Amino acid sequence: MEGLTLSEAEQRYYCDLFSYCDTESTKKVASNGRVLELFRAAQLPNDVVMQIMELCGATRLGYFGRSQFYIALKLVAVAQSGLPLRVESLNTVKDLPLPRFVMSKNEQESRHTALYSSDADNPASYSGVIPPPPGRIQVKKGSVSHDAVQQRTSADQQESTSPVVSPQQSPPTSPHTWRKHNRHPSGGNNERPLAGPGPFWAPFSEAQPGSSASSDPIWSGHSPPPHQENWVSFADTPPTSALLAMHPASVQDQTTVRTVASAATTNEIRRQSSSYDDPWKITDEQRQYYVNQFKTIQPDLNGFIPGSAAKEFFTKSKLPILELSHIWELSDFDKDGALTLDEFCAAFHLVVARKNGYDLPEKLPESLMPKLIDLEDSTVGEQTGEVGYSSSPAEAPPSKSPSMPSLNQTWPELNQSSEQWETFSERSSSSQTLTQFDSNIAPADPDTAIVHPVPIRMTPSKIHMQEMELKRTGSDHANPTSPLLVKPPDLPEENKMSSSVKFTSGNTVNGYSSSDSYASDPEQIGSTVTRQRSHSGTSPDNTAPPPPPPRPHPSHSRSSSLDMNRSFSVTPGQQQAGVVAYPPAVPPRPQPSQGAGPHVHRPVDAEGLIAHTSTSPQQIPEQPNFADFSQFEAFAVSGVNKEEEDEIETHSEVLQVEKPSDSASSLRVAKADGRVEDKAPANVPTSAGKGTTPLAPPPKPIRRRLKSEDELRPEAEEHTQKTGVIAAVLASQPSIPRSVGKDKKAIQASIRRNKETNTVLARLNSELQQQLKDVLEERISLEVQLEQLRPFSHL
Amino acid sequence: MSKFPKMNYPLYIRSIPTENELKFHYTVHTSLDVVDEKISAMGKALVDQRELYLGLLYPTEDYKVYGYVTNSKVKFVMVVDSSNTALRDNEIRSMFRKLHNSYTDIMCNPFYNPGDRINSRAFDNMVNSMMMQVC
């Protein structure tokens, strides 16, 4: 009695048995009732049982402690092996097979059902709970389990106390089910069933850590001798099933009585949820059962079970609605509110598992996903295409990984071949890849939706759109800036190319090409970014007209402007010198002395102006005016002034013409922000002065020039006055022969110079006109583009 | 974000990590009025999927409320921080689309009675993932 040594297998087996008998979960005492039942199941004569009990000390103690229980079990084994019961035999007998317990169907069922009935009155519930199967089992002994299942099913349906089908039956009736199934696979498959429960129980080890696992090898190792075959296996399995029934029972909430069929199914499932690694796998028999159930609802295996029918069906399982809802979500892949055979089987399996104490997974296990059927590749492909593409536009499944596998719902005939299962596992992995792929699509889908508004952002080129799309997939925050950042570099280039002429015109107009525009470029780019962002954000609200396009860099001013610059740069020096020289020449005029005074002032002013403007090379075009202005004497100056006025006016007109075109053409590309700003303030003086339409002001040089224009204007007025005076002077020339001669020369010289200036300016004008035309064309094209893109902004 | 059916009782409410639940509840309820207003104003074009709604922006509260209405008058309301300036219209729309899709998936479930609180784990996961994306 002491020092009972058990082999590992024995240890585990006994532990399981003890747990089974441990109805009160005391882990210490096996209830007598159970133990007795167990012993009875050992098919030992009663006296032997009594002897065993005595030997193990239970009678002494009055209860079965763990050690007593183990001893008893060992004695049972001893007895079963035909050895005399001796205390010594406990330890001496080696290689003692594990005790076998054969329980009658009734006992099993009653026990099991008792286990699971909500009213745990074991004896009482026996009769009421015992389903018909016992008789059936007898019948089925020789039959295929397939038929058995069906018979069971039918019988159950006839007399089920609770709604059929739902595998609400937990393990209790598993034994006979197992029996059947053991029979079914007959010889070679004995291992399988045995192996089944082993690994199957392993998952159950969640409920009963260790014990179930321990039973696995026991059972598997305990393959029934061939002659006993089914019965032995049955004998083995029932206790296991009993044990296992115990386990979930201890864990599970009490459930109501279920039909045998479902219990059988449950046991099937349990036992055959085969591999330790994949408790969710549906075995053939299980699947067969599911299919049969499916047929009861929907005869067409390729058809659907509508949601309401499925709801009713699964509600019978008495699972809480919440769980059923979750099971539905898991199993209905295509979210169509109906269950195909695959989905149905998965759902059924989940219900069964839940009944047995498994927690529902968050995501559908691979093995439960609809199979990727390769038997009909074409259909699969079609379905894949259809479902896949239908899902992507709908964006329905993006977040749902099982959606892709749902593609593979071509349900071929139910081939319960193992290869199918193998391929299934393969496919399930591929389905997983598909799901991954789908999930990859998923983020892309919203992006594709987002891409649509991309045009709104007015990216002129597709490259930008793609970039934006890519960037959007990456990070959303960067998106607004990235395309914009991408754009400006391109845009400046474009603008450089397209508006080079403009820029040169700008140069000619302002002459102050390089430094100013360069400085303004970065600002313009920045402003471009901001402006574009604002455009994208408020595309319908194009409030501010886009600023004019950026002027190209002043790498190369027009030759004319260069010439002008050169020429004018040259002349000012001379002219300045002349200016210096001339003023003294003015006073000699007697009459215009008064005018000369002012003229003196004027040249002085002109000097000042020249000095002022000479700082900016862009003033060069104006300088000649001033230079001329300063050089000439009163009347000559007046003449020049007039010309200057005209020139200035033409220039300003050209500027004015240019500016609106610039404004228009810079619809998208806003680089000349600085220029805009510059032009704006300059517009005021020009408009105030000349009453011209407010224009985007040219850069500062122009402004200065305009200012100078303004300055010129009053001076011009003076000049006109002076002109009148000069005319009077001229009229009175004869009175001054000497000065006249000098004047003539001076006049001629000035005339010559004026003519040169005229030609230069005329050329400038023509070039500006040409530029104007180009700019207008650009403007038109841009406006067209804008119109094309504008409709999208309203979406 | 939260969603309301016709009768304007919430079916589902979930907050971004900063769990000022009560404040969000209040905000959401007040926004419902505006949503209803918009719906009634629409009249004809009932099929207005995108109801981008930025108006409710309190200077103090500094958050934006977006609304979305389905054809069955189920309203989705989303409240986000203004500090999340990167959240663009498109993203909001896509989020609403996802919400809508998930909602229809829930509807397909025969065990779900319209009008019940939404207990779907899948829906929760989707919403959580979406919110994680944003925050």
Using CB atoms, pick whichever of A314, A335, A398 lies closest to residue B108.
A335
Nearest residue of chain B to residue A795 (CA atoms): B50
**Inter-chain touch B104–A310, beta carbons under 8 Å:** no
d(CA A8, CA A6) in angstroms, rounded, equals 6
Per-residue model confidence (pLDDT) at position A95: 59
- A767 pLDDT more than 90: yes
Mutant choice from B109, B119, B130, B132 vs A, greatest count of A C-beta within 10 A:
B109
Q: Categorize the per-residue pLDDT at A378 as very low, low, confident or very high, splitting at 50, 70 and 90.
A: very low
**Inter-chain touch A477–B86, beta carbons under 8 Å:** yes
Kindly list the domain boundaries of chain B, sorted by start residue. Answer: 2-134
Query: Does residue A347 contact residue A314 with C-beta atoms inside 8 Å?
Result: yes
Query: A293-330 burial by CB neighbour count: b if 16+ within 10 A, else e?
Result: bbeebbeeeeebbbbeebbebbebbbbeeebbbbbbbb
In chain B, what residues touch A477 (CB-CB under 8 Å)? 86
Using CB atoms, pick whichever of B94, B112, B122 lies closest to residue A400.
B122
d(CA A241, CA A234) in angstroms, rounded, equals 10
Locate tokens 């922006």: which residue?
B57
Average pLDDT, rounded, for chain B = 70
Alpha-carbon gap: A219 to the closest alpha carbon of chain B (Å):
38
Q: Is B88 on the interface with A (CB under 8 A)?
A: yes
Q: Categorize the per-residue pLDDT at A365 as very low, low, confident or very high, splitting at 50, 70 and 90.
A: confident
Alpha-carbon gap: B20 to the closest alpha carbon of chain A (Å):
25
Mutant choice from A323, A399, A447, A451 vs B, greatest count of B C-beta within 10 A:
A399
In chain A, what residues touch B90 (CB-CB under 8 Å)? 449-450, 453
Alpha-carbon gap: B120 to the closest alpha carbon of chain A (Å):
7
**Inter-chain touch B109–A450, beta carbons under 8 Å:** no
A339's enclosing H/E stretch is: strand A338-339
E-only strand ranges, A262-314: 305-306
Lookup: tokens for A334: 């295509």
- A238 pLDDT more than 70: no
pLDDT winner (highest mean) among A72-86, A258-272, A310-324, B41-55: A310-324
In chain B, what residues touch A480 (CB-CB under 8 Å)? 86, 88
φ, ψ of residue A615 in degrees (nearest 5): -60, -35
Lookup: tokens for A147: 């038929």
- A550 pLDDT more than 90: no
Using CB atoms, pick whichever of A335, A362, A477 lies closest to residue B105.
A335
Q: Categorize the per-residue pLDDT at A392 as very low, low, confident or very high, splitting at 50, 70 and 90.
A: very low
φ, ψ of residue A305 in degrees (nearest 5): -100, 120
Please tell me whether residue A625 adopts helix, strand or coil conformation. Answer: helix
φ, ψ of residue A477 in degrees (nearest 5): -65, -35
d(CA A431, CA A323) in angstroms, rounded, equals 25
Per-residue model confidence (pLDDT) at position A246: 41
Lookup: tokens for A596: 């000369």
Lowest mean pLDDT among A522-526, B5-9, B68-72, B97-101: A522-526
Per-residue model confidence (pLDDT) at position A333: 75
Average pLDDT, rounded, for chain A = 54
- B14 pLDDT more than 50: yes
In chain B, what residues touch A394 (CB-CB under 8 Å)? 101
In chain A, what residues touch B54 (CB-CB under 8 Å)? none
Using CB atoms, pick whichever of A394, A398, A450 lies closest to residue B90.
A450
Using CB atoms, pick whichever of A325, A362, A398 lies closest to residue B109.
A325
Please tell me whether residue A98 adopts helix, strand or coil conformation. Answer: coil
In chain B, what residues touch A335 (CB-CB under 8 Å)? 104-105, 108
Alpha-carbon gap: B86 to the closest alpha carbon of chain A (Å):
5
- B86 pLDDT more than 70: no
d(CA B93, CA A446) in angstroms, rounded, equals 9
Please tell me whether residue B65 adopts helix, strand or coil conformation. Answer: strand
Instruction: Kindly report, residue by residue over A286-329, the tens digit of the pLDDT.
Output: 888 888 888 887 777 777 778 788 888 888 878 787 788 888 87
Least Cα distance to A184 among A167, A201, A196 occurs for A196
Alpha-carbon gap: A441 to the closest alpha carbon of chain B (Å):
14
**Residues of chain A that touch chain B, judged by Cβ-Cβ distance less than 8 Å:** 307-308, 310-311, 314, 321-322, 324-326, 328-329, 332, 335-337, 362, 394-400, 446, 449-450, 453, 476-477, 479-480
In chain A, what residues touch B92 (CB-CB under 8 Å)? none
> What pTM did the predictor assign?
0.32
Give me the mean pLDDT over the A627-647 stretch. 47
- B30 pLDDT more than 60: yes
Using CB atoms, pick whichever of B98, B109, B111 lies closest to residue A399.
B98
**Inter-chain touch A446–B98, beta carbons under 8 Å:** yes
- A70 pLDDT more than 90: no
Give me the mean pLDDT over the A263-282 stretch. 51
Nearest residue of chain B to residue A445 (CA atoms): B94
Sign of the C-alpha dihedral computed for residues A85, A90, A93 and A97 taken in this order: positive
Lowest mean pLDDT among A39-43, A190-194, A282-286, B102-106: A190-194
Strand A338-339 vs strand B2-4: parallel, antiparallel, or unpaired?
Answer: unpaired
Alpha-carbon gap: A534 to the closest alpha carbon of chain B (Å):
13
**Inter-chain touch B112–A325, beta carbons under 8 Å:** yes
**Inter-chain touch B89–A324, beta carbons under 8 Å:** no
Mutant choice from A329, A400, A479 vs B, greatest count of B C-beta within 10 A:
A329
Per-residue model confidence (pLDDT) at position A136: 39
CATH of B2-134, one of 3.60.20.30, 3.30.450.70, 3.40.50.10490, 1.20.120.140: 3.30.450.70
Per-residue model confidence (pLDDT) at position A748: 92
d(CA A99, CA A80) in angstroms, rounded, equals 7
Query: Does residue A112 contact residue A171 with C-beta atoms inside 8 Å?
Result: yes
Per-residue model confidence (pLDDT) at position A299: 76
d(CA A35, CA A306) in angstroms, rounded, equals 48
**Is this complex's ipTM strictly greater than 0.90?**
no
Per-residue model confidence (pLDDT) at position A112: 43
**Inter-chain touch A329–B121, beta carbons under 8 Å:** yes
Least Cα distance to A406 among A375, A368, A444 occurs for A368
Mutant choice from B80, B90, B126 vs A, greatest count of A C-beta within 10 A:
B90
Q: What is the dihedral of CA A281, A286, A292, A297, to 10 degrees?
A: -50
- A760 pLDDT more than 90: yes
**Inter-chain touch A476–B87, beta carbons under 8 Å:** yes
Per-residue model confidence (pLDDT) at position A750: 92
Instruction: Kindly report, residue by residue over A430-451, the tens digit of the pLDDT.
Output: 444 444 444 444 444 444 444 4
Using CB atoms, pick whichever of A324, A336, A395 lies closest to residue B111.
A324
**Inter-chain touch B121–A326, beta carbons under 8 Å:** yes
**Inter-chain touch B91–A476, beta carbons under 8 Å:** yes
Lowest mean pLDDT among A79-93, A287-301, A369-383, A752-766: A369-383
More confident site: B114 or A793: B114
**Inter-chain touch A395–B101, beta carbons under 8 Å:** yes
Using CB atoms, pick whichever of A325, A335, A480 lies closest to residue B111.
A325
Q: Is B116 on the interface with A (CB under 8 A)?
A: no
Alpha-carbon gap: A348 to the closest alpha carbon of chain B (Å):
15
Give me the mean pLDDT over the A46-74 stretch. 72
Lowest mean pLDDT among A239-248, A310-319, A643-652: A239-248
d(CA A715, CA A783) in angstroms, rounded, equals 42
In chain B, what residues touch A328 (CB-CB under 8 Å)? 109-111
Give me the mean pLDDT over the A79-101 stretch. 65
More confident site: A309 or A36: A309
Locate tokens 């810079």: which residue?
A666
**Inter-chain touch A332–B108, beta carbons under 8 Å:** yes
- The C-alpha angle B121, B21, B78, rounded to 5 degrees, equals 70
Lowest mean pLDDT among A205-219, A307-321, A338-352, B62-76: A205-219
Alpha-carbon gap: B21 to the closest alpha carbon of chain A (Å):
25
Q: How many residue pairs bridge chain A and chain B with CB atoms within 8 Å of each other?
A: 78
Using CB atoms, pick whichever of A328, A397, A477 lies closest to residue B110.
A328
Per-residue model confidence (pLDDT) at position A762: 94
Lowest mean pLDDT among A36-50, A153-167, B55-69, B119-133: A153-167
Lowest mean pLDDT among A163-167, A460-464, B23-27: A163-167
Please tell me whether residue A782 adopts helix, strand or coil conformation. Answer: helix
Give me the mean pLDDT over the A723-738 stretch. 51
pLDDT winner (highest mean) among A75-89, A310-324, A606-620, A637-651: A310-324
Nearest residue of chain A to residue B134 (CA atoms): A476
Q: Categorize the per-residue pLDDT at A193 as very low, low, confident or very high, splitting at 50, 70 and 90.
A: very low
Per-residue model confidence (pLDDT) at position A12: 79
pLDDT winner (highest mean) among A188-197, A202-211, A239-248, A343-352: A343-352
Instruction: Kindly report, residue by residue over A105-148, the tens digit of the pLDDT.
Output: 444 444 444 444 434 343 443 343 344 444 333 434 444 444 44
Lookup: tokens for A573: 């020096």
Q: Is B105 on the interface with A (CB under 8 A)?
A: yes
